[in-house]
Structure 1
Amino acid sequence: MITRAAVVPHPPLLVPELVAGAVAETAPVRAATLAAAGKLPGPWVAVAVDGSGPATFVPPLSGTFLGFGVDVPASLGGDPPPQPRLPLPVLITAWLREHCATEVSRVELVPPDLTPADCVSFGRQLAAEDAGLLVLGDGSTRHGPRSPGSNDDRSGPFDSRVHALLAAADAGGLLDLDPELARELGAQGRAAWQVLAGVPGPWRCSGAEFFAPFGVGYHVAVWERP
């Protein structure tokens, strides 16, 4: 049974080599992400959102962040030749695995438009896993003038609500998040958070943080059984 889950973001800026000019500015989200992932028991089952989903990635598997500017290798386990174009959530899972010195069972990618009902169904399927659950997903990409998208005043309230729901381990509240609003705000993590909400509780949150460097919202939280 899954007894602990970590919610983390998966931006390239977690990898210091990819943000040589902003290592200090991105240090807080990097440190929080590594700390949360480090609390998970191994092996990990990771769930993330990607346009290539549904898809499953299992070790042995290696990749590189060369497509993001620097040839930083990362492995889910084993030492096969690196694949040139693994999805970003798979690469970040591999990078976290190496830094947390643990094992990954697999990475499950779900599509961005997965319905809340299907998220719940998938979460229930994962519930019996004897693993730590790593939930990867980013918040809104529209926080202010530095954001990748144009500013949207709804981003602040949206990510404030997500942060509050994660901090309260409020699965029902997460399932009430509007998929269309999340899509408009670029909050691709919505489906991954709702998969977590589908894993039967009870849960309590042992810590939750929110960051928004460069105008993108990043949530970090740890849920565990009371």
Structure 2
Amino acid sequence: MLVAAAVCPCPPLLVPEVAAGAAPELDALRAACLDAVAVLAAARPDRLVVVGPAAAPGPHPQGAAGSFRGFGVDVDVRLGRGEPAGESAGERALPQSLAVAAWLLGRTSWSTAPVEGLGVDEPLDTARCLETGRELAAGAGRVAVLAMGDGSACRTLKAPGYLDDRAAAFDAGAARALGSADTTALAALDPELAREVKAAGRASWQVLAGAAEGAGLAGELLYDDAPYGVGYFVASWS
């Protein structure tokens, strides 16, 4: 049963060492993310599932390792506390989205419940996203979900995906749905439009929508802005 959820974006710039001199520009975003994670901890779940976009989808166990060394900084993270279970569990590095989540959890000294990660392929169709979420929520005990993912990357001329006039409307609809915990509206997000405006969070949000069906959670939007032309949203469901 899903008892709480949080939605956070996953740009590496959330990590101050990566952002370097630009780090203060995202202080409000970092604070909102940490507030959302604190709400997850307050729900006292039996397990936390972190879902995020990944080029190589699949599960990642507690203790799985990630790194930001590819961005030229000496920052390593682990998903939750402890070492990976089993000899080969740590062989597959965390994708960027889950590495950012691991950094956020580390900043809050997460110790409330075991953590597991799930990378989802961004083109994953809506029906499979929803079913994946339902399967997560149907697991034993009280489940919390941390859904990582960005909105469109086409909000301005200097955005990574250049300007797309449809991006602002897409992001506005996603923000409304995330802020009100509207699972129906999230399920209705168009995967093709999301791909065209480069909204990397669509699949993660729809996994969350499946997990939250019938849970009766209330939502609150903690952050909604587009620094660097990319839509970033933080929401808390409880």
TM-score of the aligned structures, taking structure 1 as reference length: 0.92
Matched residue count:
222
1:67 aligns with 2:75: no
1:148 aligns with: 160
Kept in 1: contact 2:65–2:93 (CA 8 A)? no
1:90 aligns with: 98
1:40 aligns with 2:53: no
104-113 or 189-198, which deviates more: 104-113
Please state whether the residue corresponding to 1:21 is helix, strand or coil. Answer: helix
1:126 aligns with 2:136: yes
Q: Structure 2, unaligned stretches of length 5 or more?
A: 85-89
Q: How does 1:1-226 map to 2 (within 5 A)?
A: 1-41=1-41, 42=45, 43-53=47-57, 55-76=58-79, 77-78=81-82, 85-103=93-111, 104-129=114-139, 130-199=142-211, 200-201=213-214, 202-224=216-238
Give the letter aligned to residue 73 of structure 1: D
* RMSD, matched Cα: 1.8
Give the letter aligned to residue 98 of structure 1: G
Kept in 1: contact 2:219–2:236 (CA 8 A)? yes
Output one character per residue of 1:142-175: Cα deviation in whole Å (capped at 9) or x when no partner: 1102311211111111101111111222111111
Structure 1 residue 179, shift from structure 2 partner: 0.3
Structure 1 stretches of 4+ with a deviation exceeding 6 A read none
Q: Structure 1, unaligned stretches of length 5 or more?
A: none
2:87 aligns with: none
Please state whether the residue corresponding to 1:22 is helix, strand or coil. Answer: helix
107-116 or 127-136, which deviates more: 127-136
For residues 67 and 128 of structure 2, what CA distance do their matches in structure 1 show? 31
Output one character per residue of 1:37-62: Cα deviation in whole Å (capped at 9) or x when no partner: 12113542111111111x11112322
TM-score of the aligned structures, taking structure 2 as reference length: 0.87
For residues 38 and 187 of structure 1, what CA distance do their matches in structure 2 show? 26
Kept in 1: contact 2:160–2:229 (CA 8 A)? yes
For residues 105 and 223 of structure 2, what CA distance do their matches in structure 1 show? 21
For residues 125 and 57 of structure 1, what CA distance do their matches in structure 2 show? 16
For residues 114 and 182 of structure 1, what CA distance do their matches in structure 2 show? 12
Kept in 2: contact 1:116–1:191 (CA 8 A)? yes
Kept in 2: contact 1:123–1:198 (CA 8 A)? yes
Give the letter aligned to residue 109 of structure 1: G
